[in-house]
Amino acid sequence: MKRLLPLNEMAVNFGLVSNHPVRKRGRKSFFSPEGKVALMFLKMYTQLSAPKLLEQLNGNVHYQIFCDVYVNPLCPLTNYKLIDDIISELSDKLKIQQQQNILADAWKPYMKELDTFYTDATCYESEMRYLFHRDTLLQRLQ
């Protein structure tokens, strides 16, 4: 799965990778630029909270390989704010349209029927149900 994700291109688009060397101050990041992007895919895929994801990252070597990170079992990561900080960093730099183009270009060889559009109606159903109940409640209050 990791090979199908253009992690380097996405990290460059986030501005995490620079073409020219820059002298950086402070502590070296625990995650590589590609590892930060991979961590966000992992968080979305697992749907775990930051503390639970950190717990899994400490104990699951497959998660570590996916995120290009090694966690020493004798010194596990304990501060789940690390994940929250990465989420915040990437959200500040997100250019959604450009990221979507990067993903689409990478996945285009694997897609069929590019002229067809599919959607899941369940999200519309729940939204309609919510709006119906809200409007009904407002009418009763008036």
In tens, the pLDDT along 115-140 reads 877 776 665 555 555 555 555 656 66
Contacts of 1 (CB under 8 A, 6+ apart): 66
Answer whether 69's CB lies under 8 Å from 53's CB.
no
In tens, the pLDDT along 81-102 reads 999 999 999 999 999 999 999 9
Q: Is residue 31 part of a domain?
A: yes
∠ Cα 107 111 114 (to 5°): 115
Q: Is residue 133 part of a domain?
A: no
Q: Is residue 20 part of a domain?
A: yes
What range defines the domain where residue 45 resides? 2-112
∠ Cα 128 134 140 (to 5°): 135
Q: Is residue 129 part of a domain?
A: no
* Residue 36 exposed, middle or buried by CB count within 10 Å (0-12, 13-18, 19+): buried
CA distance 77 to 55: 8
pLDDT of residue 133: 57
pTM value is 0.73
Number of structural domains the chain divides into? 1
- Give the residue from 38, 31, 29, 81 showing the smallest Cα distance to 63: 38
pLDDT of residue 48: 94
| Dihedral pair phi/psi, residue 29, rounded to 5° | -65, 140
Q: Is residue 141 part of a domain?
A: no
Q: Is residue 90 part of a domain?
A: yes
Instruction: Quickly list H helices, 26-95.
Output: 33-46, 50-59, 61-66, 81-93
Q: Is residue 27 part of a domain?
A: yes
Q: Is residue 117 part of a domain?
A: no
